[in-house]
Structure formats: structure tokens, C-alpha cells
Structure 1
């Protein structure tokens, strides 16, 4: 059981890194687009995408923390 939980934890950690990198890429693109964009109201498409990736990162991190707690509880 612990082996399965560890594998799931590694998968969650990979997803954290992937969503972090994709969020940073979206941030860099939104910054470049915002410099060339005329003044307008509301967030741009890239800013919304950046927000989505960063929220996913937080969700994966929370799941990873809960899984670590579960592994620690199961190992006692």
C-alpha cells in the first residue's frame, strides 16, 4: 500500500512542477502581450490561463500534502 501511495505522491509532485512551469510560461507571455495591448478592461486570455495553471498547482500541492500525511499515518 505504501508503494502505491508513494507512486501517487511522485505523480502529484510531477504535476505540481508541470503546472508551475506552464503557469510561468503563461505569465511571461501575458507580460509581453500586456505591453503591446491597448488599455482595456478585464483580464486577458493569457492572464486567465496563468490563473488556471497556478490554481491547479495549489490544488496538486494540497493533495500532495494530504497524501504525505496519509503515508505518515499509514506507516505508524
Structure 2
């Protein structure tokens, strides 16, 4: 069981890094026209979505770590 949790934690951490990089890339692609436009631009919507996914993946990773720690502390 702990091996499965460890693998899931690693997958969640990788997904977090991927979402972070995608958000940074979307941020770097922001143009002056995007900043001067009215309302949210397509670029800012991509940034927001990527950062929301990063937060989701971080939360999953943290919950899995807590579960793994609870599993180990309960066994001793």
C-alpha cells in the first residue's frame, strides 16, 4: 500500500511541476495587447487555469503525504 501511495505522490508532484511550468509559459507569452484589453484575455484565462490545476495537484500531493504518514504512524 505504501508503494502505491509513494508512486501516487511522485505522480502528483510531477503534475504540479508541469502545471507550474505551463502557467509560467502562459505568463511569459502575455503581450502588451493582452494587458491593455478589456476583460480577461485568452492568455490570462490560460494562466488562471494552469495555476488552479497547480493548486489542485499540490493539494492532492499533500493529502497523499498525510495519508502515507498516518499509515506509517498507525503501524508503529
TM-score (norm 2): 0.90
Q: What residue is the counterpart of 1:18 in the other structure?
A: 18
2:61 and 2:70 map into 1 onto residues whose CA distance is 14
2:67 aligned residue (62, 66, 70): 70
RMSD: 1.2
Over residues 39-70 of structure 1, what are the superposed CA-to-partner deviations in whole Å (9 max), with x where a residue is unaligned? 43101101100100000000000111111000
Q: What residue is the counterpart of 1:3 in the other structure?
A: 3
1:59 and 1:68 map into 2 onto residues whose CA distance is 14
Offset of residue 26 of structure 1: 0.1
TM-score (norm 1): 0.90
Give the length in aligned residue pairs: 72
Unmatched segments (≥5 aa) in structure 1: none
Q: What residue is the counterpart of 2:56 in the other structure?
A: 59
2:39 and 2:46 map into 1 onto residues whose CA distance is 14
Unmatched segments (≥5 aa) in structure 2: none
Q: What residue is the counterpart of 1:49 in the other structure?
A: 46
